[in-house]
Chain A
Amino acid sequence: MNRKEFLKKGLFGTGMFAATATLGNILNNDNDEIKKPEVLGFNHIPNTDSKIMENTILHKAHTRGHANHGWLKSYHTFSFANYHNPERMHFGVLRVLNDDTVDPGMGFGTHPHDNMEIISIPLEGDLEHKDSMGNTTVIKSGDVQVMSAGTGIFHSEYNKNKDQRVKFLQIWLYPNKRNVQPRYDQITLNVAERKNKFQQILSPNTDDEGVWIHQDAWFHIGKFDNEVTSQYQLKKKGNGVYVFVISGSASVENQLLETRDGFGIWDTDAFTITANAENTEILLMEVPMTL
């Protein structure tokens, strides 16, 4: 009997655990969507239009995946559901950036999530949320909602209004630990504090500004007058930042970005952003580039 057959026959009871010790760490799981410890983001097409450095990636708005379900129109920056583009899988641990518009009174029925940090940022209208932890809430523009799905959570999301559409960004980050206790939180931010500067809306710290998640990520939103320049200093070495222009126009270093364009930058400590239009609204998502 060869070694493999021996192990197969001895899988139950103590046999399996003996096998584990025997195998040690020589075998790796090569089949996860995330292959560690490679730098994530490697699978993006190089940005030949960048004037900054090699470590950037540009996703023009019109190149995103699109799904039209009638009541739901969604643009996917990264592969999601039926949209599969091997070169648009993730930016670091940022796995999903969906730009959703839901018709009046319509929405997502009760469905499960697990092992994902899910952040919803309403842009327009009111989004009603109900979940298996007993939360029934409505979030609107200026609010931020977070769910740590962990071992499992069930929720529904509906457009609360019968006469107005709701628009929101739904963002999924891989957690830094699988199977955490599920949790829900939402906050209402003072949007005046993002005028011509970046307001922190998310961090890994329970006592910091904004909501917190199980990941070394920081999100900021700013709303800028034309020609206002800001500098963003990364919080953690090794992180990258995905810049998403919610509205207006901006330049990151010398890269011009229009509404709904995305731009990833890594291997840098800081960068500058200049608004090129009045009321330019920008979301910065600083995330680890490895899991």
Chain B
Amino acid sequence: MLMWNLHFLVIGTNEIILETLVRVITSVDHWTAHSCNELESMFEYLKQHEVNVLLLSSGLEDEVERKIKTIVPFLYPETAVIAHYGGGSGLLRNEVLSVFPDAIANQNS
């Protein structure tokens, strides 16, 4: 059973993959998500909301990813930045658990 409330902000340029990730995230009890596709709206959202996980989806330029990985941990140390791989449900849960290992109890049940 998932124990933690986690709010995700997903950034990427592929709308269908963003929708998929939001759907996968919100299918988990106590997990909520919002998506955006560019830096300005990402930072605007971070200013106004408490975000636990900033998930880097696909399509971002290398320089944009680098800036996010550099700036966000400094300005929002409470927000974990996770570069997502795979595009769907296969790795997402494990990526989150690698950062929040105590977020789930009985995760393999």
Contact = CB atoms under 8 A, between A and B. Distances in A.
Q: For chain B, what secondary structure do more than half of its interface residues adopt (helix, strand, loop), or is it mixed?
A: helix
Given A8-B75, A12-B43, A83 B98 contact: no
B88 A113 contact: yes
Interface stretch (A26-34, A160-168, A183-191): A26-34
B6 interface: no
B16 A114 contact: no
B20 A83 contact: no
A198 to B, nearest CB: 29
Nearest to B99: A31
A96 B59 CA distance: 22
B30 interface: no
B62 A82 contact: no
B20 A25 contact: no
B94 interface: yes
Contacts of B65: 178
Given A16-B43, A31-B99, A80 B74 contact: no
Interface in B56-100: 57-62, 65, 67, 69-71, 73-75, 80-91, 93-95, 97-99
Given A12-B43, A23-B71, A114 B86 contact: yes
A276 interface: no
Given A33-B82, A82-B107, A95-B91, A114 B75 contact: no
Interface residues of B, number: 46
B82 A31 contact: yes
Nearest to B75: A8
B40 A12 contact: yes
Contacts of A81: 89-90, 93
Contacts of B59: 114, 151-152, 179
Residue of A111, A112, A154 with highest tally of chain B CB at under 10 A = A112
Contact of B86 (A17, A29, A31, A115): A115
B16 A154 contact: yes
Contact of A65 (B13, B82, B98, B108): B108
A84 B108 contact: yes
Interface in A53-82: 65, 79-82
Nearest to A23: B70
B62 A20 contact: no
B85 A95 contact: yes
Contacts of A179: 58-62
Contacts of B88: 111-113
A283 interface: no
B87 A116 contact: yes
A115 B87 contact: yes
Nearest to B69: A29
18 contacts: A4-B75, A16-B67, A28-B69, A33-B94, A65-B108, A79-B94, A81-B93, A83-B108, A84-B94, A84-B108, A96-B91, A113-B88, A116-B85, A150-B58, A151-B59, A153-B87, A178-B83, A179-B61
